[in-house]
Structure 1
Amino acid sequence: MNRYRIALISLFTVIVYSGIARAQAKILTEAIPEAGGFSASRLARLDSGMRNWVNRKWINGSVVLIARHGKIVFYKAHGYNDPATKEPLDKNGIFRVASQTKALTTVAVMMLWEEGKFALDDPVSKFIPSFANQNVLATFNAKDTTYTTVPAKRSVTIRDLLTHTSGLGYPSIGPPAESAIYAKSKLTGGVGVKGQTLADAMTRLGRLPLFFQPGEQWKYGLNMDLLGYLVEKWSGMNLEEFFTKRICQPLGMKDTYFNVPAEKATRLVNFFQGDSAGTIKRQASVFGGALDMNYPCQQHAYFSGGGGMSSTVYDYAVFLQMLLNGGTYNGIRLLARNTVRLMTMNQIGDLNPNVGDHALDNKFGFGFLVISENGSRFTPSQVGTYSWGGVFSTSYWVDPKEDMLVLIYRQMWGPYVVNTDKAFKPLVYQAIND
């Protein structure tokens, strides 16, 4: 009798835990708002807001996707891919997601960590010799770009790269010393690069000074480009092959590329610049003509793990749902759930990431900004929400406590784009109705 009862209890336990696992491993499906705990009438405010942003000429248009409990409750485009001809913006358009590439690189790195290819506190010099015996910038002479250095107190580690605490800078967007030193060595932000290989560029990077002692500050830098090169060394594939074979194909992400294929080139969304008068003009290039905005369709072999990808809102939502599921999607596990936990928790201790409106109040994990208890008082997003975005005005966040992911994609710069960011988050959260 006891044996029978034990067998029943064991069977019940297996059934319960199997049910929990299935519930956690959600697959995105479109549904009515109420299925995801949203109010349809309150979501209509977001519809109206997106339309109003276009009418007020804040932006040319935007695409938004909201999913909660695995249910896509909102997936719409408003505005124009070309305001001059009134060509509508397609919600299935391919967007330049720039720094949203960093999340894919982080996942790739952590997949290889799970396979034992390296330890998080391994020095980078173990894999790239030019990073041995590094120095830190002490003084810089702007007149002739000469500088002095002091020895680094310790080696840069893989953990430092994942948390942006390595001491590396970012070409063009950093202070003058960074930009000048990197420009002299022909190092770039990684997007639209021609005539260089990632291996050569990252090897040169190791010979240049760091801009602070490793682990002592948080600073956005070329960390993910360097990690992308390490993925290539650890896996034996180039980064494009790794993303395609190990992440995109298993997840069914059919529109995410370093090189957008010719047959999909017409789906690349146009890029725009707005001004204070409300004039919105299509831009063939940016950065003073240095970057051709058709770069995703120009075949290249420099795969920037920090900014080179293009994708759709839906594809990237699948990727985020995998993370929200604890590393699995549609029966495919890319990461263990505790690996995702590591990626999305505070990994920088008492340091603060100097990004966002409340830079001193939040934290950083591996590749993601993470909302802290203190930071949550400034936003409707719950503690533990993780996020990032791209320079061309794409953005996302994942709120695990709400079991929700949210993306807003635009392809525009201008003085009023920030207005849409400020209006967007309240319009999302006010529509939750459970």
Structure 2
Amino acid sequence: MTALEVHTDPAEVGFDAGRLARLDRRLARWVDDGQLPGYLVTVARRGHLVHVGSAGYRDVEAGLPVERDTRWRIYSMTKPITSVAAMMLYEEGAFELSDPISRWLPEFAETRVYVAGSAQKPVTAPQLEPIRVRHLLTHTSGLTYGFHHATPVDAMYRAAGHEWGTPAGADSAEVCRQWAAIPLLFQPGAEWNYGVSTDVLGRLVEVLSGQPLDEFFEQRVLRPLGMTDTSFGLRDGDDVDSLARLYAAVPGQPGGAATGFAPFDTMGAAAHSKPTFLSGGGGLVSTAADYLRFAELLRRGGSYDGGRLLSARTIAYMTRNHLPGDADIETFGRPVFAETPLRGVGFGLGVSVVIDPVRYGVLTNVGDYTWGGAASTVFYVDPVEDLTVSFYTQLLPSSTLPIRGHLRQLVNQALVD
């Protein structure tokens, strides 16, 4: 899979081509209805790319269509890459999952834990359990995001300049110091909450490796995988027009669906150049062809094109549920708004994992693992069906349309073998 070229008849790997066409018809309807600017979707089985579909525009106002080499802000789809980078260091014996992160990031040794009160006058307590490396990988650290708008701790993040971005001029070392000065949402390991854990993990990779995160990625992950169009923001000489424009949904009536979208250039422009803060939680731009290589690395158990980044056993360990008692996120987690249900879904080391498809309410299999980005991008690997599927667009927030559930039901209904 050097490029997005389909060389395999879907029937050769168990797909009904006619039924698979339903996928594009459904996705294109959102484009035709003015709810989605454009999209690109890939479907591969047993290592063979069998479908690439697209419609609409990467820049509606300029009339630029979605193309196979369009670049996308993948936001939180950066997280699995950072998790793989960390686990490569784990395989070298750089740390144990139970190690307190304060061993390398001492600013987190005395971080307080929120108990009660307002953002202006919080009541806090000491940590009873230190933040450990596994807490970063599983989002059980007590760190959060300012954009949740759910708790006083979220408000403290926003007050410190951490909502959809970070303070100007602050690098990864500085933003970690700032986060460490804000109380944790809960005692480490006590709950699941989506937050900046993977950004802190990215800083840990830097400290352990002695390299900036972009250099580690380039030398250890991207170049070995042939991911030549993946970087933290556009690089010098990159064509800005190759990067899809970022859009935000335009709300409809209160409680109703979005009625359309509008450009969100104030946020989108951040990806036009390399940022000061190399966000391991959301800083990469990529192409569908590049990310397919990464997804295939996972599906193939840590190797790709003859090279090996991780052992198959490590990938298997990462993609099982690590929440205590095999709980799902809905039971163990904070009630943050998400596009897909959190029931029946656990969390591994860097990816969510389906543990009960019936409870999840989506046509899929136990062990399906996935993660998506804020602008509605997503990928998943289904080890039972030997599938890798990815979807790209640039629409905020990711909860605007039920894309992720539709991908699974429409891909899986097309399987006949």
Indicate how the Cα distance of structure 1 residues 300 and 414 shifts in structure 2: closer, same or farther if over 3 A, else same: closer
Question: 1:386-424 CA deviation, whole Å, 9 max, x = no partner?
Answer: 011000110111101111010111112379941444433
1:203 aligns with 2:177: yes
Task: Provide the rounded CA distance (Å) in 2 between the counterparts of 1:121 and 1:416.
Answer: 34
Question: 1:100-136 CA deviation, whole Å, 9 max, x = no partner?
Answer: 1100110000000001111110001111112223321
2:148 to 173, 197, 209: 173
User: How many pairs align?
Assistant: 401
1:122 aligns with 2:99: yes
Residue 38 of structure 2 aligns with which residue?
61
Q: How far does residue 378 in structure 1 lie from its aligned partner after superposition? A: 1.5
Indicate how the Cα distance of structure 1 residues 188 and 49 shifts in structure 2: closer, same or farther if over 3 A, else same: closer
Task: Provide the rounded CA distance (Å) in 2 between the counterparts of 1:273 and 1:296.
Answer: 16
SS of 2:130's partner is coil
Task: Provide the rounded CA distance (Å) in 2 between the counterparts of 1:208 and 1:52.
Answer: 44
Of all paired residues, the percent bearing the same amino acid is 35
Indicate how the Cα distance of structure 1 residues 422 and 368 shifts in structure 2: closer, same or farther if over 3 A, else same: closer
Q: How far does residue 52 in structure 1 lie from its aligned partner after superposition? A: 2.3
Question: 1:31-84 CA deviation, whole Å, 9 max, x = no partner?
Answer: 221222211111222232233222222212110000000010111211122334
Q: How far does residue 255 in structure 1 lie from its aligned partner after superposition? A: 0.9
AA at the equivalent of 1:115? E
Whether contact under 8 Å (1:33, 1:39) holds in the other structure is yes
1:281 to 262, 275, 278: 262
Task: Provide the rounded CA distance (Å) in 2 between the counterparts of 1:336 and 1:28.
Answer: 27
Residue 398 of structure 1 aligns with which residue?
381
Whether contact under 8 Å (1:130, 1:204) holds in the other structure is no
AA at the equivalent of 2:412? Y
1:333 aligns with 2:314: no
Question: 1:219-240 CA deviation, whole Å, 9 max, x = no partner?
Answer: 1111001000000000011011
Indicate how the Cα distance of structure 1 residues 113 and 213 shifts in structure 2: closer, same or farther if over 3 A, else same: same
Whether contact under 8 Å (2:342, 2:360) holds in the other structure is no
Residue 224 of structure 1 aligns with which residue?
198
Q: How far does residue 362 in structure 1 lie from its aligned partner after superposition? A: 1.6
Please list, as runs of the form range in 1=range in 2, the aligned pairs for 1:99-118 lying within 5 A after superposition. Answer: 99-118=76-95
2:329 to 353, 362, 368: 353
1:267 to 232, 235, 242: 242
Indicate how the Cα distance of structure 1 residues 170 and 114 shifts in structure 2: closer, same or farther if over 3 A, else same: same
Task: Provide the rounded CA distance (Å) in 2 between the counterparts of 1:401 and 1:28.
Answer: 24
Stretches of structure 2 lacking an aligned partner (at least 5 in a row)? 253-257, 331-337
Task: Provide the rounded CA distance (Å) in 2 between the counterparts of 1:411 and 1:183.
Answer: 24
Residue 409 of structure 1 aligns with which residue?
392
Task: Provide the rounded CA distance (Å) in 1 between the counterparts of 2:208 and 2:198.
Answer: 15
1:194 aligns with 2:177: no
Whether contact under 8 Å (1:396, 1:406) holds in the other structure is yes
Whether contact under 8 Å (2:343, 2:360) holds in the other structure is no
Task: Provide the rounded CA distance (Å) in 1 between the counterparts of 2:318 and 2:234.
Answer: 29
Residue 322 of structure 1 aligns with which residue?
297
Stretches of structure 1 lacking an aligned partner (at least 5 in a row)? 1-24, 286-290
Indicate how the Cα distance of structure 1 residues 401 and 216 shifts in structure 2: closer, same or farther if over 3 A, else same: same
Indicate how the Cα distance of structure 1 residues 232 and 317 shifts in structure 2: closer, same or farther if over 3 A, else same: same
Task: Provide the rounded CA distance (Å) in 1 between the counterparts of 2:294 and 2:94.
Answer: 23
SS of 1:340's partner is helix
Question: 1:279-335 CA deviation, whole Å, 9 max, x = no partner?
Answer: 4433322xxxxx3x1211223221011111111111111101001100000011000
Whether contact under 8 Å (1:28, 1:67) holds in the other structure is no
1:88 to 62, 65, 68: 65
When structure 1 is superposed on structure 2, of 405-414 and 106-115 the one drifting more is 405-414
Indicate how the Cα distance of structure 1 residues 64 and 133 shifts in structure 2: closer, same or farther if over 3 A, else same: same
Indicate how the Cα distance of structure 1 residues 253 and 205 shifts in structure 2: closer, same or farther if over 3 A, else same: same
Indicate how the Cα distance of structure 1 residues 181 and 266 shifts in structure 2: closer, same or farther if over 3 A, else same: same
1:386 to 369, 372, 377: 369
2:116 to 139, 147, 165: 139
Cα RMSD after superposing both structures: 2.4
Residue 24 of structure 2 aligns with which residue?
47
When structure 1 is superposed on structure 2, of 73-82 and 118-127 the one drifting more is 73-82
Task: Provide the rounded CA distance (Å) in 2 between the counterparts of 1:368 and 1:56.
Answer: 32
Task: Provide the rounded CA distance (Å) in 2 between the counterparts of 1:247 and 1:397.
Answer: 19
Residue 229 of structure 2 aligns with which residue?
255
Residue 408 of structure 2 aligns with which residue?
425
Residue 368 of structure 1 aligns with which residue?
351
Indicate how the Cα distance of structure 1 residues 338 and 27 shifts in structure 2: closer, same or farther if over 3 A, else same: farther
SS of 1:247's partner is helix
